[in-house]
Structure 1
Amino acid sequence: MKKIIYIIAFFLTYTTIGQQAFHNYGNLQTHTDAEVGFHTDLINDGTFDENDGGMVGFYNTSGDLTVSGNNRPTFYDMEVDVRNDLQLEVAVAVTNFQEFTAGRVQTPRDRRNVSLDYINDAPYLGENDDRYVDGYASITGVLDFTFPIGDDFRLRPMRIESQAATNTARGAYYFEDPNSPNFFPTSFNTNSFDNLLFGVSSFEFWDLDGDIETRVTLTWDDNSNIPTLVDDINNLRVVGWDSNLRQWVNLGNSTVSGDLNTGEITSELMIPDNYTVLTFGTSDMLLDGDLEIYTAVSPNGDGDNDFFRIDGLGETNNELFVYNRWGVLVYQREQYHEAQTNSDGFAGISEGRATIAKGEKLPVGTYYYVLKIDGEKDRAGYLYINE
């Protein structure tokens, strides 16, 4: 009897629009045993945020559904089973539990306040490469939180620490080139970075908003092209775009795990709102046994990284080869320690016996080096020529 009375109460507070939408302009509330399923769009212009129990689900096996209106609905439990995605035109909140069964939750990336909001540390379940928040999600609570966000049918989580959730944090993932973003009024030049960096990813970035200090953890997969940045994940860094400096800033590497194809990296403490977007970068020095290899070259005459520097070669018999991205040799030198001493080190100029366009300045970009030392394993990796 309780459920029958409850459903009758619904009919007093909504209208249907051509059988296409459920339009709430009154006061709806679910309780402990309630189970409400929407098979049409929901327009919420009334009150639907005082639910102290029950489950609200969105179901469509062949198309999409939309939640719109002037007011944010807040559900206790929520299920998404919409084959062609649940579209949010107004924010939707969950206070207890949310489940991804089929489809994504899509939010408008040009309106960051329209998001799927997890309140009171509400957990979620069922996320994968086909089921996640395609756009913005937020968290308000007291626990660590991993945003179930992604783009281009790829789940790419981002994690923050508990303190950052107490004042609401919001995030989204973008599988786009930071140099030409689609939903930001400015670009994020990956060739502009501080002296502690020598490269920044041009494949993807995250937006994290919040005003409380936290460490942030970013994830990568084989589409992140991490090998174009490093050959050792310990040299990865989290980097953030500083809009005042107009450059990428090194946010550190407190922990890192995985391999070049999949893994995650955690920054040092940072305040999200100080940085417009985040992505991967790499520092300007590799430790390779007893060698220190400075893999940034910026031949602008300022005395800082004007040539490719390798410390620790001593008097070894060695030979250095540098190749461009197409595998063409652009520099070759025996006894590289002598070249450095004589200021003949690789300075972004095509040189050597077998190089192309000898004497010409090489373009900004990624190059590959091979260092051969008699009696030792070859050393190889990426280096970067900057302006």
Structure 2
Amino acid sequence: MNNFFIFAVTILRLTRKNNILNLMPLQKFYIVALLFASFLAQAQQSFHNFGNVQIHDQGQVGFHMDLENDGTFDQNAGFTGFYNQNSLTVSGTNRPVFNDVEVDVQDDLFLEVAMGVTNFQEFTNGRVITPRDQKNVSLDYLNDAPYLGENNDRYVDGYASITGELDFTFPIGDDFRLRPARIESFAATNTAKAAYYFENPNFPNFFSESFDTNEFGDLLFGISIFEFWDVDGDQETRVTLTWDANSNIPTLVEDLEDLRVVGWEPNLRQWVNLGNAGFTGDLDNGEITSEIIVPDNYTVLTFGTSSVILDGDLEIFTAVSPNGDGFNDTFVIQGLAQFPDNELFIYNRWGVLVYNKKGYHEVQQSEEAFNGISQGRATVAKGEELPVGTYYYVLNVEGIKDRAGYLYLNR
């Protein structure tokens, strides 16, 4: 570039007032390559701001090279675009804040410092990628700034934040999959933040702890091993999570009524049931909303399945944790007393009978109930403690259809 201070514009007037470089249009203009370093005329590989820069109302600025901001660049109006057939980077020590923003960067816009949007943002090409190990570096939607154009190729790969008072859906994803999460109005008055991880929560790449999917509280049956979200915020809200075919929801439930939002509770070090306040869609695509929670109380969120199955007049608790705490110590089927002519069979994953009892309604709260101790024959010796895992139950009831399904034994 021959060591020149290069401006390529349609019409541009630069004025300097009170040590501020003002970009003020006579008409629309575009800066194809704006190289700036303490106002010195020398070749640069980025637009590097050391001082104060401001884009005024009706101004239109296009960055075709990297932006490095070590000065003040957060009082902008007008329009700012990022354009490149390859990739661009925004870096520096200070967060730039723009009014209207377009991202048209074929091989992605990388943020090494947070970047703010105050009015509107459009995804045209490429993702906005933030470092997942630095949660303070995010694409920040300020004052309820909206966006459009997001899809499986265009989203925030990493953390996005919102400050405002309206419902907001985070345009987040991973592995070229848009997987939004939504919070309700007034949940971001103190700023809320979120990222999506297409990772097994047992083996997360960017957290110092793992989230054991075998550790869960009462009224849960199982936890997704395919994905999770990090949603942060200190205000009460319902959180809505989304799924697609890669979420493998059928491995958790056959009926979406049994699906739950679950959260990792760091003090208990287990997953807890955050409810199902409503859902839409089918097993391949849809969304589910939690009950009211404070997101900061949970390290990550994902999908789980309820341990309670409503089957006509029966309420079947499909989690058994015989640890003596008084909760789910035995396999309980509420409402069974009205069907006294019944017989329960429980099998392990290989189809071996491990428990059998006639008139189960009479014993289900006693030592004779299924409590993780084998009562079967042959390969599973009677009286042995059964291993943690999934088992299959069959309930025969005289005069009505048999019930069958899975239960989970935990300790």
Please give the range of the TM-score, normalised by the shorter of the 2 chains: 0.7 to 0.9
Quick one: structure 1 residues 122 and 368, their matched pair in 2 at CA, closer, same or farther if it must change by over 3 Å? farther
Specify every segment of 5 or more residues in structure 1 that has no aligned partner in the other structure, as ranges. Answer: none
Q: CA deviation at 1:116?
A: 0.2
8 Å Cα contact 2:344-2:393 kept in structure 1: no
Q: Hey, what does 2:214 align to over in structure 1?
A: 191
The answer to whether structure 1 residue 129 and structure 2 residue 155 are counterparts is: no
The answer for the alignment partner of 1:90 in structure 2 is: 113
Aligned to 1:207: 230
Q: 1:49-103: per-residue Cα shift (whole Å, max 9, x none)?
A: 111222x122222x22111011111111111122221110000111111111121
User: How many Å separate the matches in 1 of 2:67 and 2:300?
Assistant: 33
1:255 and 2:278 equivalent? yes
2:60 partner letter: E
In the alignment, which of 58, 65, 80 is matched to residue 40 of structure 1? 65
CA contact (8 A) 2:196 2:230 kept: yes
Instruction: Please list the CA deviations of residues 173-207 of structure 1 after superposition, one character each: whole Å capped at 9, or x if unmatched.
Output: 11222223222222223333333434333322211
Q: CA 1:305/1:104 → structure 2, altered by over 3 Å: closer, same or farther?
A: same
Distance 1:385 1:120, change over 3 A: same
Quote the offset at 1:240 in angstroms: 2.1
Residues 106-154 of structure 1, C-alpha deviation per residue, up to 9 Å, x if partnerless?
1111111100000111111111122111111000112100001111222
Q: Which position in structure 1 is the counterpart of 2:55?
A: 30
> Separation in 2 of the partners of 1:17 and 1:110?
35
What is the one-letter code of the residue matched to 2:409?
I
Q: Which residue of 2 aligns with 1:384?
A: 408
SS in 2 for 1:234: helix
Instruction: Please report the TM-score for the alignment, with normalisation by the length of structure 1.
Output: 0.87
State the partner residue of 1:58: 82
The amino acid that maps onto 2:139 is L
For the residues of structure 2 that align with 1:156 and 1:81, how far apart are their CA atoms? Answer: 21
Stretches of structure 2 lacking an aligned partner (at least 5 in a row): 1-8, 16-21, 24-30
Matched, 1:102 2:110: no
Corresponding residue of 1:49: 74
Residues 1:72 and 1:16: Cα distance change in structure 2 (over 3 Å): farther
Query: Does the Cα contact within 8 Å between 1:241 and 1:247 map onto a contact in 2?
Result: yes
Instruction: Note the C-alpha offset of 1:235.
Output: 2.2
| Aligned sequence identity (%) | 65
Letter in 2 for 1:172: A
The answer to whether the 8 Å contact 1:241/1:278 transfers is yes
Instruction: Provide the residue aligned with 1:3 in structure 2.
Output: 11
SS of corresponding position for 2:11: helix
**SS across alignment from 1:219:** strand
Name the TM-score, length of structure 2 as normaliser: 0.82
SS of match in other structure, 1:281: strand
Q: Please state how far the C-alpha of 1:48 moved relative to its aligned partner.
A: 1.7
Paired with 1:291 and 1:300, the residues of 2 have a C-alpha distance of 25
The question of whether the paired residues in 2 share the 8 Å contact of 1:137 and 1:170 is answered with yes
Of the three residues 74, 93, 97, the one matched with 1:74 is 97
Aligned length: 382
Q: Partners of 2:181 and 2:404 in 1: how far apart?
A: 31
- Say whether the 8 Å CA contact 1:157–1:218 is kept in structure 2: yes
Q: Output the amino acid matched with 1:168.
A: T
Structure 1 CA distance for aligned equivalents of residues 111 and 35 of structure 2: 25
Q: Deviations over 1:241-264 (max 9, x none)?
A: 222232323222222222222222
**Distance of 1:293 and 1:94 partners within structure 2:** 50
Matched, 1:179 2:187: no
Greater Cα radius of gyration, structure 1 or 2: 2
Matching of residues 207-286 of structure 1 within 5 Å: 207-286=230-309
Q: Give per-residue Cα distances to partners, 1:301-326, cap 9 Å, x unaligned.
A: 555433333233413455645452xx
8 A Cα contact 2:200 2:227, kept in partner:
yes
Read off the aligned partner of 1:4 and give its amino acid letter.
Answer: L
Change (3 A) 1:323 1:261: farther
RMSD between aligned alpha carbons? 3.0
1:159 equivalent to 2:182? Answer yes
1:365 aligns with 389
Change (3 A) 1:212 1:17: farther
Cα 1:372/1:154, change in 2 over 3 Å = farther
Kept in 1: contact 2:355–2:374 (CA 8 A): no
SS in 1 for 2:220: coil
* Secondary structure at 1:51 match in 2: coil
